[in-house]
Amino acid sequence: MEKIIIFDTTLRDGEQSPGASLTSDEKLKIALQLEKLGVDIIEAGFPISSPDDAKAVRIIGENIKNSTVCALARCKDEDIDIALKSLEKAKKPRLHLFLATSEIHRKYKLKKAKDEIVKIAKEKVRYAKKFIDDIEFSPEDASRTEPDFLLKVCQAAIEEGVKTINIPDTVGYAIPEEFGKLIKFLSENLPKEIIISVHCHNDLGLAVSNSLCAILNGARQVECTINGIGERAGNASLEEIVMNLVVRKNYYKVETNIKTEEIYKTSRLVSTLTGIPVQPNKAIVGKNAFRHEAGIHQDGILKYRLTYEIIDPKMIGIPKSELVLGKHSGRHALRERLKTLGFEFDDKKFEKIFEKFKKLAEKKKEIHDLDLIAIAEEEFTSMKQVYTLEYFHIVSGSSTIPSATVRLKKEGKIIEDASRGDGPVDALYKAIDRITKITPILKEYKINAITGGKDAQGEVNVTLEIKGKTFYGKGVSTDIIEASGKAYINAINFYLARKMVEKKTLKGT
């Protein structure tokens, strides 16, 4: 199968995104991750544009081992000199020369005739070729250039030793079919050994489509960026191009060196360091790309993942897809989520929970696990409380070891025990453990005053871990030691209630 060369320009065109600006250290971090991702060529910067860019190209060149490191330059001696200097330490350096060719650019920007453009292209490639072998040439605004003239400029650059011709759709004006035809025309008329590359912008939202169409018509290199960032509406997104080629390999019949499992990590890194968020519905790496909310879809996914998912999230480095619980969700997804949280209910109880869940979902956009735990535990609370606090006595002070005597009621029977502890609450909890013969791990303990004044009601919330599962408990009293005891017993009761339900469920199966 033919290889498509992935040329990443996140650090050059991507950094031209309004609002994005990276330090050279941050650029190096991204470059190292791009190398891990398997990118063939990293365009590290445009050295003439700023000393920072030149520094970044230099540092990246020094540190990257496998990927080619590329620097951009206009067809001007000073640009070429500084780009080549910045690439000095790169193991595999590439110079990327560009020169505008379209009529509109010739007339208004460069104020040069066609012949002059050809002459400059030839001269500057010849000049650079004395110092570097790997040169890529881009006729800027190629998609708006007269095809015959475009071919002429490319041929001139090739005569001087260029090996890669990049066709940019600089202003995102191309249409896939038309762009495909242009690439076909060039690939039929340029020497076979020349790599044709494409570089598409997204002004009309067609950057990825244009790039893919170009591949179908002979392009063998694509220029793209992570998350599709770049000048104005951005560049073609690397992850979208690559995943199209992977998912529809049967159609494109080409492959890349990209390690797709590194895609998500790379996307997060670029977003964090550039400060450019990824839109939630962005293909492949958006927050919602692997989240399903509609009940029918969730049911389908739970029955057979491929009903509604064409990409296994693991392929791009996301552990698994997510069933988002919201007002469109159905019973199947709710039951599954409750199960993963450790709750199982008979049909009658489940219907009550489902009703409560739907009511809450009307008010709240997304239902989180803690919301579900609260709903589910409410159901458990309506069950019988196994233990209740009958009495406690604490001895504590600056010169005494704290101790607690506790009396709990269990099914009409009073059980008493005592213990010492590191503090009054610790002594109380240890005495309770002796009675219940359960030794929870106290993960969290919080006190809040819920009323004002000296006789304020205190609320204690505890989080306990028992046999690897988490249980929450709440206790309210004007005495915070009593509130602490009640919260602890409350959580233990949840544990026991759940154990009872699990036992029943097991018996029923």
Q: What is the DSSP letter of 284?
A: T
- 421 and 430 Cβ atoms separated by less than 8 Å: yes
Q: How far is the CB of 64 from ligand KIV (least distance, A)?
A: 21
13 sits near ligand KIV (criterion: CB under 6 A): yes
- 144 and 169 Cβ atoms separated by less than 8 Å: no
d(CA 427, CA 215): 72
Residue 155 binds: one of ligand KIV, Zn ion, none (C-beta under 5 to 8 A by kind): none
Instruction: Please list, residue by residue across 4-42, b when 16 or more beta carbons sit within 10 angstroms of its beta carbon and e when fewer do.
Output: bbbbbbbbbbbbbbeebebebebbbbbbbbbbebbbbbb
Q: How far is the CB of 372 from Zn ion (least distance, A)?
A: 47
SS3 395: strand
Amino acid found at 70: C
- 431 and 405 Cβ atoms separated by less than 8 Å: yes
The nearer residue to ligand KIV, 19 or 468, going by C-beta atoms, is 19
The nearer residue to ligand KIV, 13 or 262, going by C-beta atoms, is 13
The nearer residue to Zn ion, 233 or 311, going by C-beta atoms, is 233
197 sits near ligand KIV (criterion: CB under 6 A): no
Residues in contact with ligand KIV, shown as a per-residue x/- string from 135 to 174 under the rule CB under 6 A: ---x-x---------------------------x-x----
d(CA 355, CA 338): 14
Closest CA to 356 of 383, 391, 325, 311: 325
The nearer residue to Zn ion, 8 or 13, going by C-beta atoms, is 13
In the complex, which residue's CB is closest to Zn ion? 13
Characterise 166 by phi-psi region: left (phi > 0), alpha (psi -120 to 50), beta (else): beta
* Beta strand ranges found along 175-298 (DSSP E): 195-200, 221-224, 254-255, 291-292
- What residues from 201 to 230 belong to the interface with ligand KIV (CB under 6 A)? 201
- 373 and 381 Cβ atoms separated by less than 8 Å: no
Among 13, 43, 240, 344, binds Zn ion (CB under 5 A): 13
d(CA 113, CA 118): 9
Amino acid found at 3: K
d(CA 212, CA 201): 13
- What residues from 92 to 111 belong to the interface with ligand KIV (CB under 6 A)? 98
Q: How far is the CB of 248 from ligand KIV (least distance, A)?
A: 26
Q: How far is the CB of 201 from Zn ion (least distance, A)?
A: 6
The nearer residue to ligand KIV, 199 or 430, going by C-beta atoms, is 199
Residue 138 binds: one of Zn ion, ligand KIV, none (C-beta under 5 to 8 A by kind): ligand KIV
Kindly state the number of chain residues that form the binding site for ligand KIV, as judged by CB under 6 A: 9
Q: How far is the CB of 229 from ligand KIV (least distance, A)?
A: 13
Q: How far is the CB of 355 from ligand KIV (least distance, A)?
A: 56
Q: How far is the CB of 199 from Zn ion (least distance, A)?
A: 6
The nearer residue to ligand KIV, 139 or 330, going by C-beta atoms, is 139
Tally the C-alpha atoms within 13 A of residue 331's C-alpha that lie toward its C-beta.
12
In angstroms, the first-to-last Cα distance of the chain is 52
The nearer residue to ligand KIV, 12 or 297, going by C-beta atoms, is 12
Residues in contact with ligand KIV, shown as a per-residue x/- string from 231 to 270 under the rule CB under 6 A: ----------------------------------------
d(CA 431, CA 387): 13
Q: How far is the CB of 159 from ligand KIV (least distance, A)?
A: 21
Burial class for 485, CB neighbours closer than 10 Å (0-12, 13-18, 19+): buried
The nearer residue to ligand KIV, 13 or 53, going by C-beta atoms, is 13
- What residues from 406 to 465 belong to the interface with ligand KIV (CB under 6 A)? none
240 sits near Zn ion (criterion: CB under 5 A): no
User: Which chain residues interact with ligand KIV by CB under 6 A?
Assistant: 13, 72, 98, 138, 140, 168, 170, 199, 201
User: Which chain residues interact with Zn ion by CB under 5 A?
Assistant: 13
